[in-house]
Amino acid sequence: MQHLQHVDTLDEMRLIAVDIVSHYPQYSIVLLKGDLGAGKTTLSQMICEVLGVQEAVTSPTYTLVNEYHSTAGHIVYHFDLYRLNDPGELEAMGFEEYLDKDAICLIEWPEIAQKYLLHYPYLEVNIYKPDEGRDVEIIVHPLTT
Per-residue pLDDT of the chain (145 residues; tens, 9 = 90+): 788 999 999 999 999 999 999 999 999 999 999 999 899 999 999 999 999 999 999 888 778 999 999 999 999 999 999 999 998 999 999 999 999 999 999 999 999 999 999 889 999 999 999 889 999 999 999 987 5
For residues 18 and 15, what is the distance between their CA atoms, to the nearest angstrom? 5
Domain with residue 82: its CATH number is: 3.40.50.300
Report pLDDT for 145: 59
Report pLDDT for 143: 83
Instruction: Tell me the pTM.
Output: 0.93
Find, among 20, 35, 27, 57, the residue nearest to 128 by Cα: 35
Structural domain count of the chain: 1
Q: Are strands 65-69 and 75-80 parallel, antiparallel or unpaired?
A: antiparallel
Paired residues of 29 in beta bridges: 105
Find, among 59, 19, 22, 53, the residue nearest to 38 by Cα: 59
What residues make up the domain containing 7? Answer: 2-141
The amino acid occupying position 32 is L
Contact 113, 89 (CB under 8 A): no
109: left (phi over 0), alpha (psi -120 to 50) or beta: left
